[in-house]
A and B are shown apart, each in its own frame.
Chain A
Amino acid sequence: MPAAIRVAGLHKSYGATPAVVDLSFAVEQGEFLGFLGPNGAGKTTTIRILTGIIRPDAGDVTVGGFTLDQREAIARMIGVVPESRGFYDWMTASEYLEFFARVYNHRESGRSSLVGSLLEAVDLTRSRDIRVGAFSRGMKQRLGLARALVNQPQILFLDEPTLGLDPQGQQDIRNLLRTLNAGGTTVFLSSHLLSEVAELCSRIAVIDRGRLVGEGTIDDLRRKAGLKPNWRVRVMGDLRALESAPFAGQVIDRTGTPPQAELLVLGDLADANRLLDELRARRLEVVKLTADNQDLEDIFMALTRRQQAETSPGSKGIEGARASAPGNRREGRGGASE
């Protein structure tokens, strides 16, 4: 089965400023890829190249098996929620979707039901006859997503799709994206909301200054960043036993009746098990052990800071950057108190 998106040696500059540098990655069919990067990293440029909006300076790109020269063929199989979202404010929501349904040559007989189902999917049915100009930002966001789905795309490109939505709206859109992906749609999601990416994506690509700095699952990225997973251990019992323990500095919370303490452990499973043994030896009862997967921000910061350290003049190199990575700072905090 050919990859849904294949990018090899992609380059794009704006004048003397490189936007994308030797970017290579692939997205398999049915995959949900998160595309992360700081502002100006080249995310939007990459999406614009992949969707045929701008031409690359060099590199091989195929989308759905088509090269970028076959723009129309690509356009028929992709749906895009672009970064810049303009709407024909004078159209109503249903007129707007109907216009794009006609662009994709949907037959008149099925057009109305298609528009109805799309409006329902993004919860805009009640606003179907309201001019888009009167829509809130969140409503426009939903309408943009509905437009991207008009042609039932095989590949969906989303540039910050939940920007401006309230928490409920964000969750609705995420559920819709999950359903689409479960139905076989390949999703390419660029977002600044790391929790959103961690929640939705099966794989993540991190780009910084136009270069790919990491790619894989969260565990893959964590390893690449040189970070260790976080474990949260909740214990109860005579908490005075913690005070003399070498891991006293890892206590991050004390609450509850009877009193409980929460410890944060950075390390692999063996490190967590070692701590559990020591806790039990101090007659403390382990109530809960959880892997803390909300550390994508640390991984992201470590990967992008390392890239900055590698590319900036007079850099301290990878080790210097690692030392300043937030995850390792936290590790250092723990170590200092030991």
Chain B
Amino acid sequence: MIRLIWSKEVRAELYTWKSVLWLLTASLVFSFTSYLLLTNKELTLLDQTELLWLLSQIIVGTALLIVTIDASSIITAELEQHTAESLFVAPIRLTDMVVGKLLAALTLWGALFVVAVPYMVVTSAGTRLTLAFLAYVALLGTIGITAMILLTFGVALLFRSSKNTLTTTLIILLGLIAPALFSSTLKTSSVAQIFSRINPVDNIFAALDNVLVDYQLSLVRNGQFLLPLVAFLLLALVFMVFAARRFERKGLVGSEG
């Protein structure tokens, strides 16, 4: 059943050209960034590893944004286009539906990653960091994006409206990404440091910095960044399960009689 829902979602994305447009947008962003990194006078003065770190931030940030926007409508569309009732009178469990849609949203992340691979390979040429670059972007991106999708699905199940879901999740994402982009001199207060330690996006960027700039390639040495990230993933999962139970309790379709 999960596979069936996943394939339906992927086909819907392809038929509506939504995914294709997202991939094209991502490709343009990566091209523009890579071009600047390799040709701009000020940027080319940076160490190559610093360039990789900047590109990795762009890739993960762009993917987080695109997948969150996409995921915000993937569940609510069924409710708003009145297709949910037909699904739920069939022997489909909410868990199957959510997991199928989660995999569909992760497929978009997979496609974005594939689009980013050539840029990562070209910019990391000669650094012996290509594999680590690819592996850590894949690992950290997958954990962070899975957490954001679960969070988005939870909000969607609570609000049942794509507009509200999109607005809420974009505010959350902005609240996570913006502080992560602040320079370390702006994070000297204890509150800022605590937030920085628990902010998943901050941890993704810090782990990438650790790998690409400081050559700390082992997972153990990046555990301090991975643990808060995994904790965020678990929290998002708990929130999504809570929202799903509430959704089932209140009824699978709206409350109009």
Which stretch from B79-87, B136-144, B195-203 is at the chain A interface? B79-87
- A59-100 vs B, CB cutoff 8 Å, 1 = contact: the mask equals 000000000000010011010101011111010000000011
Q: How far is the CB of A76 from chain B (nearest CB, A)?
A: 5
B86, A53: Cβ atoms closer than 8 Å: no
Q: How far is the CB of A48 from chain B (nearest CB, A)?
A: 7
Which stretch from B24-32, B89-97, B145-153 is at the chain A interface? B89-97
B188 CB–A CB distance under 8 Å: no
A2 CB–B CB distance under 8 Å: no
A19, B252: Cβ atoms closer than 8 Å: no
A102, B252: Cβ atoms closer than 8 Å: no
Instruction: Chain B residues near A55: list those with CB within 8 A.
Output: 249, 251
Count: A-B pairs, CB below 8 Å: 78
Which stretch from A39-47, A183-191, A255-263, A296-304 is at the chain B interface? A39-47
Q: For this complex, into which size category does the number of interface residues on chain A fall? A: 20 to 34
Q: How far is the CB of B166 from chain A (nearest CB, A)?
A: 20
A25 CB–B CB distance under 8 Å: no
B257, A45: Cβ atoms closer than 8 Å: yes
B15 CB–A CB distance under 8 Å: yes
Q: Which of A30-59 contact B (CB under 8 A)?
A: 40, 42, 44-45, 48, 51-55
Q: How far is the CB of B213 from chain A (nearest CB, A)?
A: 45
Q: How far is the CB of A55 from chain B (nearest CB, A)?
A: 6
A86, B81: Cβ atoms closer than 8 Å: yes
B249, A14: Cβ atoms closer than 8 Å: no
B12, A103: Cβ atoms closer than 8 Å: no
B15, A53: Cβ atoms closer than 8 Å: no
A6 CB–B CB distance under 8 Å: no
Q: Can you name 9 A-B residue pairings with CB atoms under 8 Å?
A: A42-B257, A52-B89, A54-B251, A82-B89, A86-B84, A102-B4, A103-B1, A144-B86, A151-B90
Task: Other than A17-B257, A55-B249, A99-B4, give 14 A-B pairs with Cβ distance below 8 A.
Answer: A14-B256, A51-B89, A52-B88, A53-B251, A53-B253, A80-B85, A82-B86, A82-B89, A86-B78, A86-B84, A100-B90, A103-B90, A103-B92, A104-B90
